[in-house]
Structure 1
Amino acid sequence: MQPQRGRAAGLGCRGGDELPPVQQNLPYYPHIFWVDGYAETAAPCAPAVPSAPFPPPVPDRSRKPRSKGRERGERSRAGFLVMFLLILVAFTGVGLSIFKIFHLEKEVDELRESASAEPIPASSQKLTGHRKEARRAAHVTGNPEQQGLPLEWEPSSGHAYTSGVQYEARGLRVSEPGLYFVYSRVLFRGTACDSPLLLAHVVYKRNPASPGSLVLMEDKAANFCSGQRMWARSSYLGALFRLRRMDSLHVNVSKIALVNFEESKTFFGLFKL
């Protein structure tokens, strides 16, 4: 059997592989290759030449690393810019507020000038109390020159006055219906206590549409003094009444001679609520 021609057959050396150590007591047989019918002894494999390592990558010189000082400078500049923007916004808000306040004050001054120039209507005067005659009230004081009953009063001098209420026929006549507070005070006094003695103080009203009179308030007193000495007694009446148009109010007493007609001690009046 002839050997087949062709490329050498056999075991070749693997690059970089080392041969296992040969035992001393075993015979050594060299490797034989068949090349074109001739056997050649394979030369011992040369030791594998180690390949050179790749060089380390060259650093990119175009981009330099940032230093810590440069980073701190950039941060401080950014912080200063933010603070400057915040201060600018604050000053802008303050300026707008001042401008708004100035504008409002100017509008208030203009409204005051226009209000002072325009006349106040009658309805507004009645609500705000600018017109004194709109207040329905009267206060009359005692008159020493009495000529019978009911009691006669002083309507204009001293503390007495009338506003929207007429003093006529010894009484106070109302021209506007509504709710009125009516009051009267009479001071009685004498030099001796005559027993039996009865004191009476009455407030009543009349109306042309109704016959007779209607008692509104009354005070009576008896046995209020004793002995032969000077005495004094005050009687006060006051209440709230709904009066009609043309109602007239009057005051009666039991003893005219015992009444002290000083204006601070005996008086009569009313006012509309």
Structure 2
Amino acid sequence: MQPYQGRAARGAAPSPAGFGCPKDDPSRHVRPVPLPPVQQNLNYYPQIFWVDGCADAGPSCPPAAPSAPFPPPVPDRRTKPRNDRERRSVGFLVMFLLILVAFTGVGLSIFKIFHLEKEVDELRESASAEHIPPASQKLTGQKEQLVQKEARKAAHLTGNPAQQDLPLEWEPISGHAYTSGIQYHNRGLLISEPGLYFVYSKVLFRGSACDSQLLSHVVYKRNPASPGSLVLMEDKAFNFCTGQKMWARNSYLGAVFKLRKMDSLHVNVSKIALVNFEESKTFFGLFKL
């Protein structure tokens, strides 16, 4: 094999397809040079081909040129360790965020507590001002209720023994007797306000001899706008005694009536001498519903 003399030594123009072989040499061909295995994660490098001018070794083929050196493998950048300064900055950022979140939660809790305390104070003030009246207001309300109850239109009359003719005369102010909003006038009760009234009357008849006479107990009303009188309630009794020397009989009347203004109510009996005028045994009254 002859030594390689280069382009100037041989005096021929370089071949565009290879290095060191004549242009008209039919035995030249391109042979790929194998590369070392490259890791999959490295950048791809194209294959490098070396032009061999001769297929068979002979005296006319120059020696092959030395192979070009290959670059060293590129290190994996993904596994590059971080420096300590970057780690410290990340840790400080995480700690700052955690502290910020903690302080935010504490601030919201304190605000909520203050808000609830304010609402409780407002409820206490409203309850003390509206729903819980002082003792003086309670007493005043109780007095007003009592006055209203006393002001209800009502009357209770008791028997009066100092009378001589009919209708019966009554006691309006002494003992258990009273009048409230009802006037006692001309031996009767005068209505000043129309409405529903409960009217009642009780008479005790008592005698020393049983003669079986008629006993009558009547409650009636009069009105200047209407002539005459109108019977409201009546009780009559026959044969109330059977030969006894001393006898007694109660007669009670009571009912609800719609009365007009200026109505006057009276009580009549069959015989005044047989009436017991004790205030607990003979009485007359009414009250407005």
- TM-score, normalised to structure 2's length? 0.65
Q: Is the 8 A contact 2:212 2:240 kept in 1?
A: no
**Match of 2:117?**
94
Matched letter for residue 246 of structure 1: M
Shift of 1:206: 1.5
Shift of 1:14: 1.2
Match for residue 76 of structure 2 among 56, 62, 65: 56
Q: Is the 8 A contact 2:212 2:241 kept in 1?
A: no
Shift of 1:211: 2.1
Shift of 1:98: 0.7
Aligned length: 239
Identify unmatched segments of 5+ residues in structure 2.
1-12, 37-53, 138-143
**Match of 2:171?**
154
Q: Compute the RMSD of aligned alpha carbons.
A: 4.1
Give the 3 Å change call, closer, same or farther, for CA 227–272 of structure 1 in structure 2: same
Query: 1:29-68 alignment to 2 at 5 Å?
Result: 31=55, 40-41=60-61, 43=63, 51-57=71-77, 58-61=80-83, 62-64=85-87
Structure 2 residue 185 is matched with structure 1 residue 168: yes
Q: String of CA shifts for 1:200-227, please: whole Å, max 9, x gaps.
A: 2110111223222110111122334434
Indicate the percent of aligned positions where both proteins have the same amino acid.
53
**Match of 1:257?**
273
- Determine the C-alpha separation between the residues in 2 that align with 1:206 and 1:106: 54
Match for residue 140 of structure 1 among 134, 145, 157: 157
Give the 3 Å change call, closer, same or farther, for CA 49–144 of structure 1 in structure 2: same
Q: Is the 8 A contact 2:201 2:252 kept in 1?
A: yes
Match for residue 78 of structure 1 among 84, 101, 115: 101
Q: String of CA shifts for 1:124-170, please: whole Å, max 9, x gaps.
A: xxx97747885432211111122121111101111112233222221
Give the 3 Å change call, closer, same or farther, for CA 17–94 of structure 1 in structure 2: closer
Structure 2 residue 226 is matched with structure 1 residue 179: no
- Determine the C-alpha separation between the residues in 2 that align with 1:101 and 1:5: 110
Give the 3 Å change call, closer, same or farther, for CA 150–43 of structure 1 in structure 2: same
**Which range moves more in the overlay, 212-221 or 239-248?**
239-248
Matched letter for residue 115 of structure 2: T
Match for residue 242 of structure 1 among 236, 249, 258: 258
Q: Is the 8 A contact 1:32 1:40 kept in 2?
A: no
Identify unmatched segments of 5+ residues in structure 1.
19-29, 34-38, 116-126
- Determine the C-alpha separation between the residues in 1 that align with 2:253 and 2:118: 65
Structure 2 residue 288 is matched with structure 1 residue 272: yes
